[in-house]
Structure 1
Amino acid sequence: MEQHFNVFKEVAETKNITLASKKLHMSQPSISLQIQNLENQYGARFFERTNKGVTLTREGEIFYTHVRSILNILKDAKEQICAISKDQRRLIFLGATLTIGEYILPNILALLYKTHPGVDFKVKIANTDSITQDILEKKMHIGLIEGPVPRYKELNVESFWEDELVVVIPYFHPWASRNSITLAELPLERLVTREEGSGTRKVMEIALRERGLDLSELNISMELGSTHAIKQVVSAGLGITIISSLTVRRECDLKIFKTLKIQDAPVYRPLSILTNANTTQTKDERRLTNLLHDRDLLSDIISMDFGELEDHASKLRFSQRSGK
């Protein structure tokens, strides 16, 4: 039956029995016979045949949707069974947007490599649209994105963290003795931002506009293409910025930066996990998502250096061996 489904899918997508026969290395009569058998079995006509090729009927379109789902499920099952039978190392294809990829993911992967060395990761850092498309097309197992989430019925979305955007100033700034500022004070300082079109910039602009601040009043003195570049400029005293609190944790501990909240108008954005709704997660993938949902553990991991991660991994390995 799987072969019949593959034949049907190829004909539906090429809209031509001759082309389908070449791709599948089958004779045209054999393909026509299998299509006819399917139509007889389900009591419906799936294709309209013309001199130019074939097109799906309404019944055929419904059947095509289900055939694609069935073939995807069978493909996933084969891959998982093959991996188990060959005792292969599990490879997880993982995507992340820039802030997550640069400031959260390295520590998470470092810990997982220590505690579960049989798992490999292939990581892609990209924008939200690219990661979403890869998840939908099953080119990627898990996507981690920041900010607004696209909505598709084939997409599972789980929030795992709420990231706060804060005002960041150098520690020698006159405001450094304070813990917050008002929206009205933002235009008084030179503002360094990400370039137009970046996720962080969009979240900042939407949030400030919703809180009644006219964006034209902002004194944007510099637009830069990376968070690292912004941090360098701000540390030199060339302006202030509004960026993720996650990205400046270490600099704040070292008293290079001071973060200020915006009074009565904090700005938060969700960090989310994307998975394909039609794919069953493996135990290794679930282990990663479970870690991300453990807020206390995740908070500890993010703030640790690699030496501390080594100690933490040793404790986790001991806990797993002892069954605690």
Structure 2
Amino acid sequence: MDQHLNVFIQVVENRNFSRAAEALHMSQPAVSQYIQSLEKELGTKLLERTNKYVEVNKAGNIVYQYAKKISRNYEQMRVLVSDLKNKPSGELKIGASYTIGEYLLPQILAQLQFQYPDIIPIVSIGNTEDIGKKLIQHEIDIGLIEGEFSHPQIQAKDFWTDEMYIISSSRQPLLIRTYKDLEKQTWIIREEGSGTRKMLERFFESYHISPARLITLGSTQIIKEGVESGLGISLLSDLTFKKELELDRIVKLDVEGTPIRRQFFIIKNHHEFHSKAFQVFENLVMSWLD
């Protein structure tokens, strides 16, 4: 990749010539010379300098966005050429929504390590919206999400049918005869952007349920602990509470319209060449869950 663009990226991201020079193992005057040469070639100023920081102007932001694309394409080209003569290896950045990341992905990664020990997975966990945005911004290579994420840049295919149940504490048995009984309960729900929350909101809408009290918690584990303690009821994937069910800490409520089924999806960027590591991971997810 052109060294002028590489130096420019480092200066923009470090917002400082000295820190950029350290990252590049270059002298500060050499970094300044590269930037001046690039500005001269393009015929415009790209950076605004202050005593402490460097900021990009409008022209600089355009150059930075294209430089990042060129950098990604160069790295992808290097990996793909290497793949022609080598077995699957290197880093693979995987994003997963919480239910998948905490309850399915560890088993998939164990199998990946056994079959392809030279692949190094780097995992990001977040809600469905977070993972979709990371993929769009090329912060991850592939995503595994619960629920839907739509974007023209993204291709999605389903790999698992999940079942979701309304659960309550086994200490306080509930008798639910009507949806009105559900309205009287305290519901423990996930945060905005969560695939699990979207499914619950659709359930409420479908059956015209308006709960009297909602408590929002940011993780499935905390929700399970809240349900166990009698704080309220919730809707969760049966992948998440198998142990609690076996230990008789949680019970599934017999409610018409449940279990609710939803799809888990692999998401990836359209029209991109993918490394061998990417391809074997995608194939492993599809085949392992058959």
How high is the TM-score relative to the length of structure 2?
0.67
8 Å contact from structure 1 (residues 131, 143) kept in 2: yes
Give CA-to-partner distance per residue, 1:168-218, whole Å, 9 cap, x none.
Answer: 13287255xxxx965333124x33413542515631443134314242446
Question: Displacement of 1:247 after TM fit?
Answer: 0.9
Q: CA separation in 2, counterparts of 1:160 and 1:201?
A: 17
Output the amino acid matched with 1:208. Answer: F
Aligned position for 2:95: 95
Aligned position for 1:252: 245
Question: Displacement of 1:277 after TM fit?
Answer: 1.9
Q: Verify: 1:168 aligned to 2:167, yes or no.
A: yes
Output the amino acid matched with 2:251. Answer: F
Q: Which of these residues, 222, 225, 234, is aligned with residue 241 of structure 1?
A: 234
Q: CA separation in 1, counterparts of 2:74 and 2:220?
A: 43
Question: Displacement of 1:283 after TM fit?
Answer: 2.6
Give CA-to-partner distance per residue, 1:15-44, whole Å, 9 cap, x none.
Answer: xxxxxxxxxxx9xxx99x999xxxxxxxxx
User: Percent of aligned positions with the same letter in both sequences?
Assistant: 28
8 Å contact from structure 1 (residues 141, 275) kept in 2: yes
Query: Using a 3 Å threshold, how does the CA distance of structure 1 residues 281 and 171 change in structure 2: closer, same or farther?
Result: farther
Secondary structure class of the residue paired with 1:94? strand
Q: Which of these residues, 291, 296, 303, is aligned with residue 284 of structure 2?
A: 291
Structure 1 residues without counterparts, runs of 5 or longer: 10-25, 36-63, 300-324
- Structure 1 window deviating more from structure 2 (103-112 vs 269-278): it is 269-278
8 Å contact from structure 2 (residues 83, 275) kept in 1: no
Output the amino acid matched with 2:114. Answer: K
Q: CA separation in 1, counterparts of 2:123 and 2:271?
A: 21
- Over the residues paired in the alignment, what is the CA RMSD in angstroms? 5.0
Higher helix share: 1
Output the amino acid matched with 1:241. Answer: S
Give CA-to-partner distance per residue, 1:67-101, whole Å, 9 cap, x none.
Answer: 98676444311133357768784221111111111
Output the amino acid matched with 1:137. Answer: Q
Query: Using a 3 Å threshold, how does the CA distance of structure 1 residues 85 and 262 change in structure 2: closer, same or farther?
Result: same
Question: Displacement of 1:142 after TM fit?
Answer: 1.0
Alignment of 1:253-268 (within 5 A): 253-255=246-248, 256-258=250-252, 260-263=254-257, 267-268=260-261
Aligned pair count reads 281
Aligned position for 1:210: 205
Alignment of 1:42-53 (within 5 A): none
8 Å contact from structure 2 (residues 190, 197) kept in 1: no
Question: Displacement of 1:158 after TM fit?
Answer: 1.8
Q: Verify: 1:148 aligned to 2:148, yes or no.
A: yes
Query: Using a 3 Å threshold, how does the CA distance of structure 1 residues 239 and 4 change in structure 2: closer, same or farther?
Result: closer
8 Å contact from structure 1 (residues 203, 269) kept in 2: no
Query: Using a 3 Å threshold, how does the CA distance of structure 1 residues 88 and 272 change in structure 2: closer, same or farther?
Result: closer
Secondary structure class of the residue paired with 1:243? strand
Q: CA separation in 1, counterparts of 2:262 and 2:238?
A: 11
Q: CA separation in 2, counterparts of 1:273 and 1:5?
A: 33
**Higher gyration radius (CA):** 1
- Structure 1 window deviating more from structure 2 (197-206 vs 276-285): it is 197-206
Aligned position for 1:159: 158
Structure 2 residues without counterparts, runs of 5 or longer: 10-29, 40-63
Alignment of 1:124-135 (within 5 A): 124-135=124-135
Q: CA separation in 2, counterparts of 1:87 and 1:269?
A: 35
Aligned position for 2:188: 193
Query: Using a 3 Å threshold, how does the CA distance of structure 1 residues 110 and 207 change in structure 2: closer, same or farther?
Result: same
